[in-house]
Amino acid sequence: MSNVFGEAYGLTTISPIIDGRTDGVHHAQELRATLARLPRGRHSPFASVSGTHTARWFVVDDLISEAYPAKEDHLNSKYLVFIADFDGALEQYVSSLVASIPEVIDSVWGHCVGYPGSSRPLAVLDYVRDCQVNTTLYFGGYPGASVENVLRALLVQREAIQFVEQTRQLPSGELQAAFRRFRDRMEKAPTPAPGSM
Amino acid sequence: MPNLAGKSYAFNAFTPIGRGRVFLCRLAFVLIRLASFKIVQKLLYKVSLVADQQRLVDLSFIHFARWTIVRRRDWPNFGDGQPGDSPVYAYMLFASNFNGQWEQYIDAFSAVVPGGMDLIWNTNVGYPGAKPITRFLAYIRQNQFDTDYYYSAYPHSATSDIRGALDLVAQMSAFAERTESIAPTKFKDEFERFLISVSHDLSTTGRAPWADDPDEPIMPRTPIPRDESPAAVEQDEQLAVWGPA
């Protein structure tokens, strides 16, 4: 099992979608429409779940069969796959999901069999564990960097380019003072909003 | 497009593992993990598999990637009228977050680490080999599942931007410490030397050159009202009879 790489945790869950309709709502169709209507980028619900590097949902309607002589392969249910890369431990992240975006996870996983609802946080954690498939090999491009580290570093990078352009002509002593002010400003600057960089 | 969040692309593929070959597939991943250890890289850098690890890191366009073996019994069943699933094959789920275009990504994998790709996918049914690229592309495309919703915390930044930014911060801290008590007259020379050493880290981020605005939802939050004008009604009727032009 290698769900962890550096500081990041790689979560993969596969949840069976409720078959057919309930009260006229076709679950797989409604689930796809719900996902398509979710805000994206810096307005995404995941922007408010701290520590989320990336997150995705996709629906598996059926398996894709390879050409003969491979055997045809099918699923009886449709499945919702959730994949996320986040900082910290699974328990902490699931509790953040439940606390920060309860309506969103209910509107998505509410179409899946066995989902207990965000009003029962511990049961949601058990549900996620029941649906989890352990990662066999996990790879990250910048191990050890949290979302906050990355966002702050990108801010410094953007500001540093401007700083270099603005201070090119300054004499040595003034440049030193300006550099100290720049470092001080960067240390005090708020972390950019997730999804904005 | 849901596979994209700004510059980041979410890729998913389920490929069937040959029956009785899950053990071999796991063994391949164990070998790859062993090859990623620093001591192994130092001692066996000439071995193809070990060199592939470093090449993969050097490619510098992957944010996160994972391979997950989904065994036949891993498809959850909560009862409650749900028909259980136990497919013929175990599956390998490959999920990646990378920047760039789909074809470039697969092409780079095929060109730079063909040995590693072959080791991973050789146990998979129908795998044609990493080279030639055309058949490999077709295999991956056939087994790809489009993403329905995708979020990235830094959609305007490529992997190399992030690595550069993290390196810049580390080098800037070291530079600040080194020049803490330096004479003001000597600072400019030191600063210029520092700038040269971090020049490759000073990239600019921004919107992707292709058309994805990560802040735009895929569908509007409320359905668009139906156009009831006579022209629109007539067009709908024509479409119903003849299909789109």
- CB pair distance less than 8 Å for A54 and B205: no
In chain A, residues 92-131 whose CB comes closer than 8 Å to chain B? 113-114, 130-131
Would you say A178 and A167 are in contact if contact means Cβ atoms under 8 Å apart? Answer: yes
Summarize the confidence of residues B67-90 as an average pLDDT.
91
**pLDDT tens per residue across span A107-124:** 999 999 999 999 999 999
A-chain residues within 8 Å CB-CB of B197?
A: none
Q: Which residue of A has its CA nearest to B126?
A: A66
For A83, residues 6+ apart whose C-beta sits below 8 A from its C-beta are A10, A11, A12, A54, A55, A56, B12, B66, B95
Span A4-131: which CATH code? 3.30.70
Is a pLDDT exceeding 50 seen at residue B245? no
Looking from the CA of A135 toward its CB, the CA atoms found within 13 Å total: 25
User: Peptide bond before B76: cis, by omega within 30 degrees of 0?
Assistant: no
pLDDT at B101: 77
Asked whether the beta carbons of residue B184 and residue A79 sit closer than 8 angstroms, the reply is no
**Which 3 state secondary structure label does DSSP give A2?**
coil
Query: Is B63's CB within 8 Å of A140's CB?
Result: yes
Q: Do B156 and A47 touch (CB under 8 A)?
A: no
| Strand extents, DSSP E, B77-225 | 90-99, 149-152
Whether residue A143 has pLDDT greater than 90: no
Say what the pTM is.
0.88
pLDDT given for residue B242 in this prediction: 57
Minimal Cα distance from A63: which residue of B?
Answer: B14
Q: Indicate the residue of A58, A70, A139 with minimum beta-carbon distance to B64.
A: A139
- pLDDT score of B1 more than 60: no
In chain B, what residues touch A193 (CB-CB under 8 Å)? none
- Which residues are CB-neighbours of B174 under 8 A, at least 6 positions away? none
- Give B31→chain A minimum CA distance, Å: 11
pLDDT digits (tens, 9 = 90+) for B23-72: 999 998 888 888 777 776 666 666 666 666 666 667 778 899 999 999 99
Residues 86 to 115 of B: which have CB under 8 A from any A CB? 87-89, 91-93, 95, 97
Cα gap A63→A77, rounded to integer Å:
10
Mean pLDDT of the region A2-19: 93
Residue ranges of B 204-233 with Cβ closer than 8 A to chain A? 204-205, 213-221
Alpha carbon of A80: minimum distance to chain B alpha carbons (Å): 10
pLDDT of A53 > 50? The answer is yes
Give yes or no for A22 touching B (CB within 8 A). Answer: no
Mean model confidence pLDDT for chain A: 94
Please give the DSSP secondary-structure letter assigned to residue B47.
S
pLDDT in tens, B115-146: 888 888 999 999 999 888 889 889 988 999 99
pLDDT value of residue A133: 97
From residue A182, alpha-carbon distances to A167, B66, B111, B184 in Å are 11, 39, 43, 16
> Looking at residue A66, what is its pLDDT?
85
Interchain pair B217, A40: CB under 8 A: yes
List the single residue in B162, B188, B195 with the smallest CB-CB distance to A172: B188
